[in-house]
Copies of this chain bind each other. A is one copy, B any other.
Amino acid sequence: MAGRPRSFDRDAALAAAVEQFWREGYEATSIATLTSAMGVSPPSLYAAFGDKNRLFEEASAAYFRLTCEGLDRAAELPTAREAIVRMLDDTAHAHTRAATPPGCLMLTEPRLTAQREELHQRLLDRLDRGVKDGDVPPGARTDRLASFLVAVLRGMSGCARDGGTLEDLQEIAETAMAAFPAQPEKAVRRPTSP
């Protein structure tokens, strides 16, 4: 009932697939480049991962899981502002690491709309928690802010793809944070009319 064991590390092969999809995107990545990068012949690839679509789904899910771990760690910071700053800075680093392709698979790949929506939701959740905790002003449009942040993240990814450096991305993030609503003061000062 037992047959010949597979001769390659499935996780390592998947990681190689992640990198390929990350670097070139789904459409531009061919089975030939995948088999070459993964060190696996086509029949083995299809036996282990199904078809190109399912391999991509598994690869993007693995990528997404890692990304979310970073987001969750940043979200634990005491205030929403600190959490968002950390997320943006982590992103700047992740998009410009020499060991990995520039930019972000999740933010670039057209078919990963669902992942981007989940990213939006996670940002929104952290912002709403900030409102509840009192470190974000109660009138803040958290939904708009989350959409804005997703747009900025996307812009950072694109900038990295175009050769932007870590510093370039950090400057974008820093500039974007100027749009973050100011911390509410303990006593709200009523503006005086002229």
Contacts and interface: CB of A to CB of B under 8 A. Distances in A.
Interface residues of A, number: 34
Interface string A144-156: 1101101111111
Interface string A22-36: 000001100000000
Contacts of A110: 161
Interface stretch (A42-50, A65-73, A175-183, A185-193): A175-183
Contacts of A161: 110
A125 to B, nearest CB: 18
Interface of A: 27-28, 107, 110, 113, 116-117, 141, 144-145, 147-148, 150-156, 158-159, 161-164, 168, 171-172, 174-179
